[in-house]
Chains A and B, each alone.
Chain A
Amino acid sequence: MSMLFIKTASMSWDQFWHTIFSTRTLAAYRLSFETALWAALINSIFGFLIAWVLVRYQFFGKKLVDAAIDLPFALPTAVIGISLADLYSPHGFLGASLSRFGIPTAYTPTGIVIALIFIGLPFVVRTVEPVLQDLDKEAEEAATCLGATKFQTFWKVIFPGVFPSVVTGFSMAFARGVGEYGSVIFIAGNMPFKTEVASLLIVTKLEQFDYAGATAIALAMLAMSFVLLLSISTFQWYSRKKIGAA
């Protein structure tokens, strides 16, 4: 990892700033972070829902659903990429109907979000599931006995207990999404300024043997992800302390 810093040191400050703050690079960071954020948000909501259904309910085919959750971990990203690109392309099974409703998906940021939703799906489910399982049933019963409605019990008793694990899953899905390459490049269309993600820009620079440029972008990305993840874990530490004190 320290090679990153050494390589960047071979650039002058001017070159460095120029590379990491060029409009094309800025657009790529923004796209990477925005799409990862949206995908992680959607994954948090549905991930929580899926974990809830898997922990609390019994139904036919539950084992199959549970096994399917890990599919994104087991499939190669390139395979996911071409499959999604085909499915959501303007001639694809879903893409055709969506574009008839005026919602273009492939070759737009929406397509990137779709790919990242697929990739990040297991994170929130798998972090929330064990916590939900271990949650104290007595606290819920006590709340109900004390006259709380179902909604109040959920909102005031269950949700605060599970929330930290949702945040953990969110940050893992987000970290994965920011740097994702294989599943994104096929559906993205890769137009500079519009649908070119930062990881693709790094690969492009490497292919042009612009090692210093690629390193500078990588370093800037790592720094941004690090700051973001650090603030998330600080927030978590803070909220855990608050719960502990109460």
Chain B
Amino acid sequence: MDRFVKWSLIGITLVYLSVILVLPLVVIFLNAFHEGIQVFLSGITDPDTVSAIQLTGLIAVIVVPMNLVFGVAAAWTIAKFEFKGKQVLSILIDIPLVVSPVISGMIFVLLLGPRSSLGAWFLNHGIKIIFSTPGIALATTFITVPIIARVLIPMMQAQGREEEEAAITLGANGFQTFMKVTLPNIKWGLLYGVILCNARAMGEFGAVSVVSGHIRGLTNTLPLQVEIMYNEYNFAAAFAAASLLTTLGLLTLVIKKWVEINFKGQLT
């Protein structure tokens, strides 16, 4: 009886996940290569797609280091210190997770768009933010703020602060303590956070779609380019570009698993 329950539950899980998760994944690659490798290659070498890939890379290069610094600082503050308003800070960090990405993007349009006073001031000084690269970078940064911090906070909390206190007592300064004690302890989590943040930064759609203005070859990131090609019934090219993003996502998961195994080894 127990064996029956066990295997039927495992069976249900496997069938459910195959239909819900695996099938859509297979569809992406099938469609990408459906019309042959030639069509796939011409799909991803289309000039607009290439400039979308470049912009996506640029955004990730801007956003990930910013959130790396912020994420470590925020996680450090929340995990290792007691202060007034700590609860408020951790709720603030989570806002991008609960608010619709569309609304997140909209906030930047309202704040810095051509019709706002701030946006108008920047425009007068020759700086275009919304419907341009800075706006996309800002919105993407906002969306990915929680990712690194949320990976690090539970880790740092679990590790406690005895080791740091010991280092300080032995005469290390703050910077030394961070470089020699804290950083080695969190490096695997940090790596995973960065990878996940990178995947989200490259894949963000809702918020970016609101602030980008969809100017082909200029302000289209790769996910937006996927949308445009799909809506033009250029399915092979859309799925070819999508398969690139999917590969990135799969790579992210592999690294995550690898880090988990490594990190578990470190704990014991």
- A contact residues vs B (CB 8 Å cutoff): 1, 3-4, 7, 46, 49-50, 52-53, 57, 59, 63, 65-80, 82-87, 92-94, 117-118, 121, 172, 175-176, 178-182, 186, 199, 202-203, 206, 209, 211, 214-215, 218, 221-222, 225, 229
Contacts and interface: CB of A to CB of B under 8 A. Distances in A.
Contact of B226 (A78, A199, A203): A78
Contacts of B103: 179, 199, 202, 218, 221-222
Given A3-B107, A83-B25, A180 B226 contact: no
Contacts of A59: 10
Given A71-B21, A176-B98, A199-B100, 19 more contacts: A4-B107, A49-B16, A63-B257, A65-B13, A73-B196, A74-B252, A78-B223, A79-B28, A79-B245, A82-B28, A82-B239, A84-B24, A179-B102, A181-B101, A181-B205, A202-B100, A218-B100, A218-B106, A229-B98
Determine the main DSSP class of B at the interface with A.
Answer: helix
What 6 pairs between A and B have smallest CB-CB spacing?
Answer: A179-B100, A76-B203, A182-B205, A74-B249, A181-B206, A83-B24
Contacts of B20: 117-118, 121
B123 to A, nearest CB: 16
Given A80-B24, A202-B103, A211 B9 contact: no
Nearest to B202: A76
Contacts of B199: 74
B110 A86 contact: no
B212 to A, nearest CB: 12
Nearest to A71: B21
A50 B24 contact: no
A215 B253 CA distance: 36
A87 B18 CA distance: 13
Given A52-B9, A78-B223, A118-B24, A179 B246 contact: no
A74 B198 CA distance: 10
Interface of B: 6, 9-10, 12-14, 16-17, 19-25, 27-28, 31, 95, 97-103, 106-107, 109-111, 113, 115, 196, 199, 202-206, 209-210, 223-224, 226-227, 230, 235, 238-239, 242, 245-246, 249-250, 252-254, 256-257
A137 B205 CA distance: 44
B196 A74 contact: yes
B106 A206 contact: yes
Contact of A94 (B6, B12, B23, B224): B23
A1 B28 contact: no
Contacts of A66: 257
Nearest to B98: A175
Given A7-B110, A86-B31, A86-B235, A77 B206 contact: yes
Contacts of A181: 100-102, 205-206, 209
Contacts of A92: 27
A175 B96 CA distance: 11
B249 A76 contact: yes
A57 B256 contact: no
Contacts of A214: 106
A66 B250 CA distance: 13
B223 A179 contact: no
Contact of B10 (A1, A53, A71): A53
Given A83-B27, A87-B23, A74 B250 contact: yes
Given A117-B20, A118-B20, A179-B100, A79 B242 contact: yes
B24 A65 contact: no
B3 to A, nearest CB: 11
A32 to B, nearest CB: 9
A181 B11 CA distance: 32
B239 A68 contact: no
A178 B203 contact: no
Contact of A79 (B98, B223, B235): B223
Nearest to B227: A78
A50 B106 contact: no
Contacts of B115: 209, 211
Nearest to B23: A87
Nearest to A84: B24
Of listed A1, A72, A181, residue having the most chain B CB within 10 A: A181
A242 to B, nearest CB: 23
